[in-house]
Amino acid sequence: MLRWLVCGRVGTVWIWKALLLFVAIAFAVQLLGVIFNKSVHPAGHSIFLSSDAQGPSLGFCQPHTHIMFLKTHKTASSTVLNMLYRFGDERNLRFALPLGYQFGYPLPFNAHRVKGYRGPRAMEFHILGHHMRFNKPEVEKVMPADTFYFSIIRDPAGMAESSFAYYKEVAPAFRKAKSLGDFADNPYRYYDSRVRNNYARNLLMFDFGMDNNANFSLAVAQKAETMIRQTFNLILVSEYFDQSMILLRHALCWPLETVVSFSLNARQQKPSDVGGLSGSFVSKAAAAAGIGFRGVRPQAKILTNVTEAQREKLRQWNAFDLYLYKTFNRTFWEDIKSFGYAQMEQEVSLLRMLRKEMAQVCLRDGGKPVEARRIRDKNIRPFQLGLLEILGYELQPGLDNATRTACLRMIRPELQYKDVLDAKQFPRVAQSGQQNPALLAAGASLVRQDSPRTGERLAEGNAGGRTAELRDWDGSRLMRRNQTLIQKVRLT
């Protein structure tokens, strides 16, 4: 009996000890969760009123700060880039910035076009995300080994409509066609694969660094798919933007508020009466170079209208892009299934609620986009090009400084935000006189005089015309050369 009592008491003591240990572990887990969540909070002022701005707990993951975003054309990529800009800007991360506004597109990416690059691992870059033609070996020279790679895709028919409206006066194939329907009915009549800057066939395939003009074959398409799967951690889908943001924020281990955004670079849904390049800062640069642009024609919207049969023709014309879209769209929904439909619905609803809340805090006119000419602050007027006007936003008046700064980050257009980050990372340039954004946005060619490769072009284009001296971030001399119309546009 004594032995039984002793054993019983010892057993009871061990049960209590085990229970106390369990409670201690649970408390530590909760405490660590709070610490990890706090580690990804913005360092600055939060403008969210809701306590749900952080979103559901992300557990024990560490936030990614080494990120490469392949910014594809006409896929809502400007909105994604703004999100990356804000995240890095608030945390003082280092961006891999181009000398101008893109990395020598349409040539393949080269590490030496990154401002401040001095060789592999000579400097830590956190975020790389401007337009480029993907070139993995060169990207790996710039970005660390643990970099998270992602991109975004879109239905080729929708891409074609958006590209035609934006590049009508620039892309040779589109410029010759009477309308997008005309182009869809007979693309070979207008498209010449020998001409650069066509933006009219398999643009996704081209941006991912592969041959967009090859005759379609399943073997080539599967090779492209394999390359993307082996390199990129996540492919988003433009048509399901909010769901994409939820998948992205979990993959990056970021709080929900970091992926709340307003649509940037959105097109007006009717012709603009100021259209084309009229009234934009690029038009002034073009005028100085003696280049004229035609304004928007009254039937601009009609020019982009297509029948469903013509939309299908556009998909078949962009057969490689269609293959990539269908393939990674399936993968996208498989990821959502694994994530959980109920959880996805819950987080998308919360994301939209936070966006609405932010619009009420930040924006005039109930958050509706407005024409660029109505935006009084020229520093937040979006770049204009194409048949339809690119819309922007006006800030609410009377915001306190911290709130205004946070709101401004969300609506600042891509070109202007790049300049802000450039001045922040390379203050000597800002002090000595910033390079003319209009000419650089238009693709003006820069040649670095002390380049290790004699006459290496840092932003490609056809030479000719006047030259003007500029200085690079470290004081070395640059020479600007004016270019032809095809090279005088910023590609978005």
> pLDDT per residue over 319-333, tens digit each?
999 999 999 999 999
**pLDDT digits 0-9 by tens, 269-287:** 544 333 333 333 333 333 3
Peptide bond into 106 cis (omega under 30): yes
Q: Nearest 5 degrees, angle CA 170-CA 484-CA 420? A: 80
Mean pLDDT value of segment 207-235: 97
Judged against a pLDDT cut of 70, whether residue 85 lies above it is answered with yes
Instruction: Name the residue with tokens 């003082």.
Output: 92
The yes-or-no verdict on residue 212 having pLDDT over 60 is yes
Pairing of strands 467-471, 477-481: antiparallel
Calpha distance 392→372 (Å, rounded): 6
- Per-residue CA distances from 256 to 29, 95, 153, 267 (Å): 21, 22, 22, 27
Place of tokens 């969540």: 37
For 425, list phi and psi in degrees, rounded to 5: -80, -30
Return the pLDDT at 141.
97
What percentage of the chain exceeds 90 in pLDDT? 46
In the prediction, which pLDDT does 383 show? 63
Please state the rounded mean pLDDT for residues 292-309.
61
Q: Is the pLDDT of residue 301 over 70?
A: no
Taking a C-beta distance cutoff of 8 angstroms, is the pair 489, 440 a contact?
Answer: no
What are the φ and ψ backbone dihedral angles of 261, each rounded to 5 degrees? -150, 165
Lowest mean pLDDT among 6-20, 35-49, 285-299: 285-299
pLDDT of 371: 67
Q: With contact defined as beta carbons under 8 Å apart, do 110 and 141 qualify?
A: no
Rounded CA-CA distance 248/195 in Å is 36
Strand, coil or helix: 47 = coil
Q: Which residues pair with 150 in a beta bridge?
A: 69, 234
Q: Return the pLDDT at 264.
A: 74
Q: Could you report the per-residue pLDDT of 126-183, keeping only the tens digit for each?
A: 999 988 999 999 999 999 999 999 999 999 999 999 889 888 888 899 989 999 999 9
pLDDT tens digits along 26-83: 555 444 443 344 344 444 555 555 555 666 666 788 999 999 999 999 898 989 999 9
Q: Which residue has the higher pLDDT, 132 or 265?
A: 132
**Could you tell me where the DSSP H helices lie in 153-231?**
156-167, 172-176, 180-185, 203-207, 218-231
Chain centroid to CA 175: 26
Q: Which residues does residue 457 pair with via DSSP β-bridges, in sequence order?
A: 447
- For 321, counting Cβ atoms within 10 Å of its Cβ (0-12 exposed, 13-18 middle, 19+ buried), the class is buried
Q: Taking 80 as the threshold, does the pLDDT of residue 8 lie above it?
A: no
Quote the pLDDT of residue 27: 53
Cα–Cα distance between 492 and 484 in angstroms, integer? 18
The pLDDT assigned to 284 comes to 33
Question: What is the reported pTM?
Answer: 0.74
What are the structural domains, with CATH classification, of the chain? 67-270+284-425 (3.40.50)
Q: What is the pLDDT of residues 423-441, one digit of tens each?
A: 999 997 444 444 444 334 3
Query: 385: helix, coil or strand?
Result: coil
pLDDT band at 23 (very low <50, low <70, confident <90, very high): low
pLDDT at 278: 35
